[in-house]
C-alpha cells in the first residue's frame, strides 16, 4: 500500500527521499512523487510509474533543499495518473501534502472548498487536505493550529505529512488508522510509513498513535494530541539491520527470504509466549482472525486446537468477514495473526471484538495491531520485503507450534526446513511442467489442507496462473466437473493414515483425464503420477505441514521467474493492505 517518507536535516532531501521510496517499493504502488522546499521555493515532481523511471525522468536529483516529502501511491480514489500522484498542492503552490488511507468525508469537504473558490487538480480524496490547510492558515494564528484544525475535520484513515512555505523548516505529521513513524537522527529527522525505509539512517523510532500530531524539524520532535496538548514521545529501538533488509546478492527478495528460513525457525521459537499460555489454558472458546497467508496459518492453528487440545472450540475467521459472522463475544480469547500488524481488515475486526483478551501474532513492533491487543507475540523473522509472505508464514507456524507443544518440535522443524531449501533445482525443474497448465488444483487433506491453500495462493499471487485449492474429498461434490484433459491437480501427499482416502481422490481425477502431480514420500502416489517429487521427508505426522512450506514457496517463485514476472512485485497487490 502507499509509502510515505519525509526528511528534514542538512543533507540533500531529494536523494534521501528517492532512496527511501526505493526501500518502500515492496509495499506495492503505481506512481511516485516528491516535494522539496528550498527557502521559499517549493517544487513538486511526480508521475505514474516506477521509482527508477519517474525519479530519472522527472529529474528528482535536480531539486535542491534539505526538507522534503516523498510518496508512492497505490490508487484508490482516482485513476493512475500524474495528476492523482502525490504530493498534492493547494491553489497557491505553497503547500505540499502526502497521504495514505482514505478520507471518507472528502466529498463534503471538497464541495465546501469549491464553494470558497478552491481549484482542484486531481480526483483524489487526499487533495482536500492541502486546500483545507490553505483555508485554515487564513483563519488561525499559527500553522500548527491550522494543521490541527485541518486534521480534526477529517474522517476516515490517514497518515499525513505536510510541508508548507509558512513553516519552511518543519514537517507536520498526523495519523489515524494508517501507520506513520518518526525516525530520530542527529541534526536531522525522518518520517516514514514503516521502519524499513529508514534503517540506513536510524534505529530509534517514535510510532505515532491514532489521533496524534507531530512536528519535526532538524533538531526536535514534538508530539501532541488533536487539541495540541503536548505528549511525551517514547522511542523504541528496532534491532533489524540493514543487511537483512537488502537482497545480498540474490536476484529477488523472495528467494533470499525463502532460503533464510532455517534461521527463522530458531528466531520464531525464541518468541516469548509465557504471558499467553495461561490464557490458552483458561479459555475454551477461541477466535482466530487473519487475512491472506496469515489466515492459512490461522487455519492450521484452529485445526490443531480443536483436534489436539481437548476442551477447546476454535474458529478461524477471514478478518473482513468477522463482523458479518459473529456477535461481539467477550468470552472468547482472540488471536489476531498479521505479519505487518497493519492489515485494516484485521484491525477493524479487533475493534469490533469486545473481548478483553486479545493476542496478536505479528512481525512488527509498535504496529497498530499491538495497540489493539492485550498481548503481543513477535515473530522475530526480521524484515520481509517481498510482497508474497514466505518467512513470516513459517514463523507464524512455529509460534503456533510453540504455543501448543512448547519447544518439543523445534529441532525437527528446523531440520525439515533446512533439508527442503536444498531442493531448489528439482523444484525449479518441476515448475516448468506446472506452468504449462491452464488450471492447477491444489488438493490436500488434514493438517496439510492449509498448506494446499497457501501453495495455491502463493502461485496465483506471483505467477498469475489460475489456481484453486480444495480439500481433496470435497472435489467430488461439484468441482470434479471441471476436471478434463489439460487440467492439472497437485496433490500434497504425505504418508499418513489419511493417505488411502487421498489416493482415492487422486484416482478420481486421473479417471477423468486430469494430469497428476504429487509432492509425496509415498511410493503408491509416485507410481500413479504424471510427475512426482519425492522431497517430503518422513516425519512425525504432526510435522508434515512443515515439509511443504518451502517446496510450495519455491514452486511459486520459480513459476513466476520462468514466466518473466518479478515475484517481488506482483501486479495489483500490496504487502500491507491498510484499506478495508
Of the pair 207, 388, the CB lying nearest ligand G6P is at: 388
C-alpha cell at 386: 517481498
Nearest to 109 by CA among 138, 132, 83: 132
Query: Is 22 one of the catalytic residues?
Result: no
Bridge partners of residue 33, in order along the sequence: 46, 71
DSSP state of 103: B
- Give, as ranges, the residues between 286 and 345 that touch ligand G6P (CB under 6 A): 291-294, 338-340, 343
Which of 2, 360, 398, 488 is flagged as catalytic? 2
Of the pair 368, 532, the CB lying nearest ligand G6P is at: 368
Which of 22, 110, 458, 575 is flagged as catalytic? 575
Q: Is 456 in the site for ligand G6P (CB under 6 A)?
A: no
Query: Is 191 one of the catalytic residues?
Result: no
Q: How far is CA 293 from CA 2, 142, 289, in A?
A: 20, 47, 12
Of the pair 291, 520, the CB lying nearest ligand G6P is at: 291
Span from 59-67, 91-99, 185-193, 386-394 in contact with ligand G6P (CB under 6 A): 386-394
Q: Where does residue 511 rank: exposed (0-12), middle (13-18), buried (19+ CB within 10 A)?
A: exposed
Number of residues that bind ligand G6P (CB under 6 A): 16
Span from 245-253, 305-313, 404-412, 572-580 in contact with ligand G6P (CB under 6 A): 572-580
Whole-angstrom distance, CA of residue 120 vs CA of residue 124: 9
Smallest distance from the beta carbon of 401 to ligand G6P, in angstroms?
18
User: Are 162 and 148 spatial neighbours (Cβ–Cβ below 8 Å)?
Assistant: no
Q: Is 387 in the site for ligand G6P (CB under 6 A)?
A: yes
Q: How far is Cα of residue 538 from the mean position of the Cα atoms in its chain? A: 33
Smallest distance from the beta carbon of 336 to ligand G6P, in angstroms?
9
Smallest distance from the beta carbon of 326 to ligand G6P, in angstroms?
19
Q: Is 575 in the site for ligand G6P (CB under 6 A)?
A: yes
Of the pair 18, 157, the CB lying nearest ligand G6P is at: 157
User: Are 348 and 319 spatial neighbours (Cβ–Cβ below 8 Å)?
Assistant: yes
Of the pair 437, 576, the CB lying nearest ligand G6P is at: 576
Q: Is 573 in the site for ligand G6P (CB under 6 A)?
A: yes
Length reported for the chain:
580
Q: Is 397 in the site for ligand G6P (CB under 6 A)?
A: no
Query: Quick one: angle between helices 544-562 and 410-421, nearest 10?
Result: 30
Q: Is 389 in the site for ligand G6P (CB under 6 A)?
A: yes
Q: Is 576 in the site for ligand G6P (CB under 6 A)?
A: yes
User: Are 291 and 577 spatial neighbours (Cβ–Cβ below 8 Å)?
Assistant: yes
Q: Give the CB-nearest residue to ligand G6P.
A: 292
With residues binned 3-state (H G I as helix, E B as strand, rest as coil), the percentages for the chain, rounded to 5, are 40, 20, 40
Whole-angstrom distance, CA of residue 461 vs CA of residue 387: 9
Q: Is 346 in the site for ligand G6P (CB under 6 A)?
A: yes
To 10 degrees, the CA torsion angle through 223, 225, 228, 231? Answer: -40
Catalytic residue IDs: 2, 575
Residues that bind ligand G6P (CB under 6 A): 291-294, 338-340, 343, 346, 387-389, 573, 575-577
Amino acid at each position: 500500500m502507499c509509502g510515505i517518507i519525509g526528511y528534514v536535516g542538512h543533507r540533500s532531501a531529494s536523494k534521501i527521499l528517492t532512496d527511501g521510496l526505493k526501500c518502500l517499493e515492496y509495499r506495492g504502488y503505481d506512481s511516485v512523487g516528491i516535494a522539496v522546499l528550498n527557502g521559499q521555493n517549493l517544487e513538486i515532481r511526480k508521475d505514474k510509474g516506477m521509482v527508477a523511471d519517474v525519479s530519472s525522468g522527472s529529474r528528482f536529483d535536480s531539486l535542491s533543499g534539505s526538507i522534503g516529502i516523498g510518496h508512492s501511491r497505490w490508487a484508490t480514489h482516482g485513476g493512475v495518473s500524474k495528476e492523482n500522484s502525490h504530493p498534492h498542492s493547494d491553489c497557491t503552490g505553497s503547500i505540499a501534502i502526502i497521504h495514505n488511507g482514505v478520507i471518507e468525508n472528502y466529498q463534503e469537504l471538497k464541495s465546501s472548498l469549491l464553494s470558497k473558490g478552491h481549484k482542484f487538480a486531481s480526483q483524489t480524496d487526499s487533495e482536500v487536505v492541502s486546500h483545507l490547510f490553505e483555508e485554515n492558515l487564513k483563519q488561525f494564528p499559527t500553522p500548527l493550529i491550522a494543521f490541527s484544525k485541518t486534521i480534526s475535520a477529517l474522517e476516515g484513515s490517514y497518515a499525513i505529512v505536510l510541508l508548507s512555505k509558512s513553516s519552511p523548516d518543519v514537517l507536520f505529521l498526523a495519523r489515524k488508522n494508517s501507520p506513520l513513524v518518526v525516525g530520530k537522527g542527529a541534526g536531522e529527522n525522518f518520517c516514514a510509513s514503516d521502519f524499513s525505509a529508514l534503517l540506513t539512517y536510524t534505529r530509534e523510532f517514535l510510532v505515532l498513535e491514532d489521533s496524534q500530531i507531530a512536528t519535526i524539524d532538524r533538531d526536535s520532535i514534538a508530539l501532541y494530541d488533536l487539541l495540541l496538548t503536548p505528549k511525551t514521545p517514547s522511542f523504541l529501538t528496532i534491532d533489524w539491520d540493514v543487511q537483512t533488509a537488502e537482497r545480498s546478492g540474490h536476484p529477488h527478495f523472495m528467494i533470499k527470504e525463502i532460503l533464510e528460513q532455517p534461521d527463522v525457525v530458531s528466531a520464531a521459537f525464541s518468541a516469548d509466549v509465557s504471558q499467553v499460555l495461561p490464557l490458552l489454558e483458561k479459555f475454551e472458546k477461541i477466535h482466530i482472525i487473519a487475512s491472506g497467508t496469515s489466515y492459512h496459518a490461522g487455519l492450521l492453528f484452529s485445526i490443531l486446537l480443536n483436534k489436539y487440545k481437548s476442551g477447546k472450540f476454535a474458529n478461524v475467521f477471514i478478518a473482513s468477514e468477522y463482523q458479518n459472522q459473529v456477535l461481539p463475544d467477550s468470552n472468547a480469547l482472540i488471536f489476531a495473526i498479521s505479519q505487518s500488524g497493519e492489515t485494516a481488515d484485521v484491525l477493524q475486526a479487533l475493534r469490533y471484538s469486545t473481548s478483553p483478551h486479545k493476542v496478536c501474532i505479528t512481525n512488527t513492533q509498535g504496529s497498530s495491531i499491538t495497540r489493539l491487543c492485550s498481548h503481543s507475540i513477535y515473530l522475530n523473522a526480521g524484515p520481509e520485503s517481498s510482497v508474497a509472505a514466505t518467512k513470516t508464514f513459517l514463523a507464524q507456524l512455529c509460534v503456533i507450534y510453540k504455543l501448543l507443544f512448547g519447544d518439543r518440535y523445534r529441532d525437527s522443524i528446523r531440520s525439515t526446513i533446512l533439508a527442503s531449501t536444498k531442493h531448489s533445482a528439482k523444484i525449479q525443474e518441476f515448475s516448468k511442467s506446472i506452468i504449462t497448465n491452464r488450471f492447477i488444483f491444489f488438493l490436500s487433506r488434514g493438517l496439510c489442507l492449509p498448506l494446499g491453500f497457501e501453495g495455491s495462493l502463493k502461485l496465483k499471487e506471483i505467477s498469475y496462473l489460475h489456481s484453486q485449492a480444495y480439500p481433496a474429498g470435497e472435489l467430488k461434490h461439484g468441482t470434479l466437473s471441471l476436471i478434463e484433459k489439460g487440467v492439472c491437480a497437485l496433490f500434497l501427499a504425505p504418508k499418513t493414515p489419511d493417505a488411502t482416502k487421498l489416493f482415492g481422490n487422486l484416482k478420481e481425477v486421473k479417471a477423468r483425464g486430469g494430469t497428476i502431480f504429487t509432492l509425496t514420500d509415498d511410493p503408491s502416489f509416485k507410481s500413479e503420477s504424471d510427475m512426482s517429487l519425492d522431497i517430503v521427508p518422513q516425519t512425525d505426522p504432526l510435522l508434515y505441514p512443515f515439509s511443504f512450506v518451502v517446496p510450495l514457496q519455491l514452486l511459486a517463485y520459480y513459476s513466476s521467474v520462468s514466466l518473466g514476472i518479478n515475484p517481488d512485485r506482483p501486479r495489483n497487490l500490496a504487502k500491507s493492505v491498510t484499506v478495508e
